[in-house]
Structure 1
Amino acid sequence: ATLNAPQTEDSVSLLCFFLCLSPTVCDRVYVHPFHLFSYNKSSCEELDNLTQEEKMFVPISIESQTIPAYEENLKDKTKLGTQSSDTKRDQRLSYLKDLVHVLGVRFYGALKETLKGENYLLSPTNLYRSLLSIYLGASEQTAADLQNFLGFFPPSGDPDCTSKVDGHKVLLTLKTMDDLFLSSGADDLLSTKLSCLFSAPSVRLSESLVHSLASSADYFYARAVDFTNPSQAAELIESFVKGKDVSRTQNVLTNIDPSTTLLFVTYIQFKGKNNEASQVKELQEFWTDSSTKILVPMMSVTGTFQYKRDDSKNFSVIEVPVSENALLVLVQPINSNDLNKIESELSLDPSSAWLQNLSPRHIKLSLPELTIQSAYDLQELLTNMNLSALLGKKANLTKISDANLTVGKVQYTPSLLRNTFTHVSCSLPLEVTLNKPFLLAVYEKNSKTMVLIGRVTNPLNSF
């Protein structure tokens, strides 16, 4: 068929219009979240070169009083930098926040089975960071298994470098979470992280790996320890940590295997100031179970807080700001419900039911004064989860050392010192008293990242 001139011009114009649209449509192609953290082709080539040039060093003895040269170098090389506030940063935060939540809930479930009836506390963000630290030193199948456990499943089965996650990108995003959480500009909430890598004498460690670990902690030390006398090694480590005056902890290192050549220890401490809360003058009743009560010191604060009472699921939630960017969430059973039922419904879904449908209420809140410390061996928890091979004796950790390593422990110790409240008001409030076992969680306000979660069964048992 033959087209006349006007029809041809219209067709050409329409064709040009769609050609102009084409680049815009192509720019909106879906990007799998995995690729926010994976290596690209160019970084894979750089990675190969870095692996060939890896530098090693031998840490000084834990009993030495000198400051090693490598520790001085760490001060100049430990800054991770910051991510600019852009779309990719926000996407990474949103994706990683969900992975942190899922991993935290999985470990919380393992603790629930291990420590029945006890207080326990864990920090999902810092737990995730500890496992990521091991991932940075892992190779081959161990690295692949840890990557999957951390929630990063490549969208295709292609085994090349681009199917691997760049742990440094993940580490930087975790640091961004920390910065958001602690960016209130005030000292009302303090968080301190101390990490130590203890290796057997003469074991060489990767310089770049140590720099990466140091960049994610407030304090980091690498020292050599003789593990053939486990009790003496534990005493030396405890004395060393206390000497740094960043974590006043009890001796939590037990049952060290004398064949150990590597031990990774992390201490996390959260501390709040009670600017507006007041101590209740007399000791108050706290029911550890339906038939047992104890007398405990309590504190009280009055203010307008987010609150809900869910009579269908039989729990109440109160959300209390503890700093400009941190929220304390307190959950307790109601209507004869018990904590075990609430915990069993703790969802792997990051959009926790705890944070939904809250509304402001004027409340007088009373709760026990709390100092909680917990200590966990991640290897033991993984064994309880039927995942002992992840950090077992056959784990490939050649990016940490060129020696044949035996990981004795990956010790993780979070602690919460005191309660923190900031709001005060004067009108007649709803009275809410936490006088029986309850759950607590701390979230970053904007992203709703779960930073801390724990159970309080007996406020008098701090450890």
Structure 2
Amino acid sequence: MAPAGLSLGAAVLCLVAWAGLAAGDRVYIHPFHLLVYSKSSCDQLKRPSVEAPADPTFTPAPIQAKTSPVDEEALWEQLVRATEQLEAEDRLRAAKVGMLLNFMGFHMYKTLSEARSAASEAVLSPVTLFGTLTSFYLGALDPTASQLQAFLGVPGDDQSCTSRLDGHKVLSALQTIQGLLVAQGGASSRARLLLSTVVGLFTDPGLHLKQPFVQGLAPFAQVTLPRSLDLSTDPDLAAEKINRFMQAVTGWKMGKPLTGVSPDSTLLFNAYVHFQGKMKGFSLQPGLQEFWVDNTTSVSVPMLSGTGTFHHWTDAQNNFSVTRVPLSANTCLLLIRPHCASDLRKVEALAFQHDFLTWMKNLSPRAIRLTMPQLTLQGSYDLQDLLAQTKLPTLLGAEANLGQISDANPRVGKVLNSILFELKADEGELPTESALPQAGPEVLEVTLNSPFLLAVLEHESAALHFLGRVANPLSTA
């Protein structure tokens, strides 16, 4: 398997090659041909036929209706099965979507980080963010659909059918990316990584949702829960009901709860993602240890420790180091430690930019004793706020055409992305690539007891699943 940096480089080279084709006299091939409608699909759409029946609709069940709790083990098995018969085109499509969501993830993480102080946590899932926006694309008509397509990074070119993004292909690619993250040899193997995505569609009782839209979300969100409640009479009470409902269904404590629902909203789109990783070969140290939030303030937290051969790189010029820790055969955790806590913002600006993955080629194996906090990061943000900060406040605003979601063209309120990110110890043997040689260099001590940055990378698609800042392991984002 090629290193992640090489995968991204190959994708860029492909883009350059496609651009050359477009500039020459050869037949033009859309650079995102794996993600747009095929010519045969477009021909079928153009074919005259009897007037198509209207999409079937339904009214979501009341929020108080009984709902079965989420079975995360079953969701893990579902993701693993989705990767068992992947074809070459599926993998190429996943790599293309991985590149797009990485670029968006870097940009939106920067926006999220700048909106928060350096002393606060920040965590973002590029996959969930991209999936949320693609879900709205699936439910949009022009001009909103074209605007969303451009924001997702796929140019519409000549506005022909074969230049239109196929949202179903994108969501299917996201399912592949999620499956590759957790797959470890089939559904019979023991899950060390769990990844669960749940979408709550909360509507005003009078809003009828289109069945094709809701069913189309299945590849992205393993569980979609359409529920209705009064959003206008008492918005604070509505937010409280939604929080209680999601807590009961998932059992997850998701950072800051939903607040401030606009009374004129008819649709809330809430995406919840839970990631649980087990660090093989690590153990929980006895007692609590100090984590220095700044030069004068510390908190007592549980710490994990493990010794092995990990890939590592120190940037002496910019005073930070990167350590790569395998979470599975196909997934790694990147830990970025500023040598001085006051350099966190500077290092963050360097780290989470478009050439981030090129760092991978600088890493080399080193015997390391790594000590870091046991992490439980909880983060929530309103995508509407991020869009406003990126000067796109109307993209999902009152004028948005979302006629594929409902004939009543819903008015979107909050678009919440909530993340629960957990890392725990697994005292089993280290992965083969991390085992210490019988004789080797002196073991390097790497201790993350002050603010640091992290990323979770899935190698095959080179997709970044999480970007985060750990400023205080006891706080929430």
Q: Does 1:231 align with 2:236?
A: yes
- Selected match of 2:224 from 220, 224, 244: 220
- SS of the equivalent of 1:408 reads strand
Structure 1 residues 139 and 350, CA gap change in structure 2 (3 angstroms): farther
Map of 2:113 onto structure 1: 112
Map of 1:126 onto structure 2: 128
- SS of the equivalent of 1:285 reads strand
- Selected match of 2:196 from 187, 192, 199: 192
Map of 2:170 onto structure 1: 170
Q: Does 1:33 align with 2:31?
A: yes
Matches within 5 A, 1:37-48: 37-44=35-42, 46-47=44-45
CA deviations 1:173-211 (Å, max 9, x no partner) are 111111211111431111111111111102111100000
User: What is the alpha-carbon distance in structure 2 between the residues aligned to residue 134 and residue 234 of structure 1?
Assistant: 21
User: What is the alpha-carbon distance in structure 2 between the residues aligned to residue 105 and residue 418 of structure 1?
Assistant: 22
Paired residues of 1:100 and 1:124 also in contact (CA < 8 A): yes
Structure 1 residues 249 and 93, CA gap change in structure 2 (3 angstroms): closer
Deviation at 1:356, TM superposition (A): 2.3
User: What is the alpha-carbon distance in structure 2 between the residues aligned to residue 109 and residue 231 of structure 1?
Assistant: 30
Paired residues of 2:255 and 2:378 also in contact (CA < 8 A): no
Map of 1:343 onto structure 2: 348
Kindly report the root-mean-square deviation, in angstroms, between the aligned alpha carbons of the 2 structures. 2.7
Map of 2:469 onto structure 1: 455
Map of 1:398 onto structure 2: 403
User: What is the alpha-carbon distance in structure 1 between the residues aligned to residue 132 and residue 317 of structure 2?
Assistant: 38
- SS of the equivalent of 2:179 reads helix
- SS of the equivalent of 1:345 reads helix
Map of 1:8 onto structure 2: none
CA deviations 1:359-411 (Å, max 9, x no partner) are 11111100111111100110011111111111111111000000131101111
- Selected match of 1:376 from 369, 374, 381: 381
- SS of the equivalent of 2:66 reads coil
CA deviations 1:436-462 (Å, max 9, x no partner) are 110000001233211111000111214
- Selected match of 1:314 from 287, 303, 319: 319
Deviation at 1:357, TM superposition (A): 1.3
User: What is the alpha-carbon distance in structure 2 between the residues aligned to residue 442 and residue 108 of structure 1?
Assistant: 14
User: What is the alpha-carbon distance in structure 2 between the residues aligned to residue 460 and residue 98 of structure 1?
Assistant: 32
Matches within 5 A, 1:366-445: 366-419=371-424, 423=430, 425=436, 429-445=443-459
Deviation at 1:116, TM superposition (A): 1.4
Q: Does 1:142 align with 2:144?
A: yes
- SS of the equivalent of 1:281 reads coil
CA deviations 1:38-96 (Å, max 9, x no partner) are 113432354577975311111121122389xxxxxxxxxx9996696444334322322
CA deviations 1:102-127 (Å, max 9, x no partner) are 10011101111111121111111111
Q: Does 1:357 align with 2:362?
A: yes
CA deviations 1:276-317 (Å, max 9, x no partner) are 322222432322223433332211111111111111222101
User: What is the alpha-carbon distance in structure 2 between the residues aligned to residue 246 and residue 282 of structure 1?
Assistant: 27
Matches within 5 A, 1:234-253: 234-249=239-254, 252-253=257-258
Deviation at 1:342, TM superposition (A): 1.3
Q: Which amino acid aligns with 1:194?
A: V
Paired residues of 2:284 and 2:425 also in contact (CA < 8 A): no
Paired residues of 2:82 and 2:176 also in contact (CA < 8 A): no
User: What is the alpha-carbon distance in structure 2 between the residues aligned to residue 342 and residue 412 of structure 1?
Assistant: 25
Q: How many residues align?
A: 425
User: What is the alpha-carbon distance in structure 2 between the residues aligned to residue 328 and residue 162 of structure 1?
Assistant: 38
Structure 1 residues 313 and 379, CA gap change in structure 2 (3 angstroms): same
Q: Relative to structure 2, which stretch is displaced further, 422-431 or 100-109?
A: 422-431
User: What is the alpha-carbon distance in structure 2 between the residues aligned to residue 362 and residue 276 of structure 1?
Assistant: 14
Q: Relative to structure 2, which stretch is displaced further, 291-300 or 360-369?
A: 291-300
Structure 1 residues 107 and 116, CA gap change in structure 2 (3 angstroms): same
Unaligned segments of structure 2, at least 5 residues: 1-25, 69-78
Paired residues of 1:83 and 1:172 also in contact (CA < 8 A): no
Q: Which amino acid aligns with 2:106?
A: V
Structure 1 residues 192 and 312, CA gap change in structure 2 (3 angstroms): same
Structure 1 residues 83 and 106, CA gap change in structure 2 (3 angstroms): farther
Deviation at 1:33, TM superposition (A): 2.3
Structure 1 residues 296 and 146, CA gap change in structure 2 (3 angstroms): same
Larger gyration radius, structure 1 or structure 2: 1
User: What is the alpha-carbon distance in structure 1 between the residues aligned to residue 446 and residue 409 of structure 2?
Assistant: 56
Q: Which amino acid aligns with 1:302?
A: T
User: What is the alpha-carbon distance in structure 1 between the residues aligned to residue 27 and residue 42 of structure 2?
Assistant: 24
User: What is the alpha-carbon distance in structure 2 between the residues aligned to residue 343 and residue 351 of structure 1?
Assistant: 11
> TM-score w.r.t. structure 2 length?
0.83
User: What is the alpha-carbon distance in structure 1 between the residues aligned to residue 57 and residue 242 of structure 2?
Assistant: 23
- SS of the equivalent of 2:61 reads coil
User: What is the alpha-carbon distance in structure 1 between the residues aligned to residue 166 and residue 52 of structure 2?
Assistant: 14
Q: Which amino acid aligns with 2:306?
A: V
User: What is the alpha-carbon distance in structure 2 between the residues aligned to residue 47 and residue 239 of structure 1?
Assistant: 44
> TM-score w.r.t. structure 1 length?
0.85
User: What is the alpha-carbon distance in structure 2 between the residues aligned to residue 159 and residue 79 of structure 1?
Assistant: 37
Structure 1 residues 412 and 290, CA gap change in structure 2 (3 angstroms): same
Paired residues of 1:194 and 1:246 also in contact (CA < 8 A): no
Q: Relative to structure 2, which stretch is displaced further, 281-290 or 325-334?
A: 281-290
User: What is the alpha-carbon distance in structure 1 between the residues aligned to residue 404 and residue 461 of structure 2?
Assistant: 33
User: What is the alpha-carbon distance in structure 2 between the residues aligned to residue 175 and residue 200 of structure 1?
Assistant: 29
User: What is the alpha-carbon distance in structure 2 between the residues aligned to residue 173 and residue 323 of structure 1?
Assistant: 21
